[in-house]
Amino acid sequence: MSDRITYFETGIADKRAAKRYLRDKFRTSPLEPVATRPGARFYVTVRSGGRVGWLLGPYASHCVALTHVRRAKALACEVDRLADIYAYGTASRPDTIATVFPRDAQPKPREIERPKKKRAARKL
């Protein structure tokens, strides 16, 4: 066991340098919208425990599939009341498969429920 002090389990003794290292290490670069993988088809998926559902797709690129995740979640919430707690993301496959929703499916607009105003009780 070494008596050397390191920060954030990086092995770096300087706190500022350790923070800078971790910030740069986990900084993600923006995805290119035209980034594709030849032969791959990208889908929006849902996970619940060990089960996986293929909600929307196929799309030509990963970025396009990512843009449809929120819409797929809204569609799933219309069908299943527990869909809010599931995990949503994307996946790719080399082949085309059937999905739960068609690619052009749109969720129904939600109506905002406003609480009813309480009327003051009249005195007789």
pLDDT digit string, tens, across residues 45-66: 999 999 999 999 999 888 889 9
Q: For residue 52, give the H/E element and its range.
A: strand 51-59
- At residue 74, the pLDDT reads 93
CB atoms inside a 10 Å sphere around CB 97: 10
Residues 77-89: b if buried by 16+ CB within 10 A, e if exposed: eeeeeebeebebe
Phi-psi sector, 72: left (phi>0), alpha (psi -120 to 50), beta: alpha
- Which positions ≥6 away from 105 have C-beta within 8 Å? 56, 71, 75
- pLDDT tens figures, 7-45: 777 888 888 888 888 888 777 665 555 556 777 899 999
- pLDDT tens figures, 78-111: 999 899 999 999 999 999 999 999 988 888 887 6
Displacement of CA 86 from its chain's centroid (Å): 10
Instruction: Specify the 3-state DSSP secondary structure of 115.
Output: coil
Nearest residue to 73 (alpha-carbon basis) of 52, 88, 93: 88
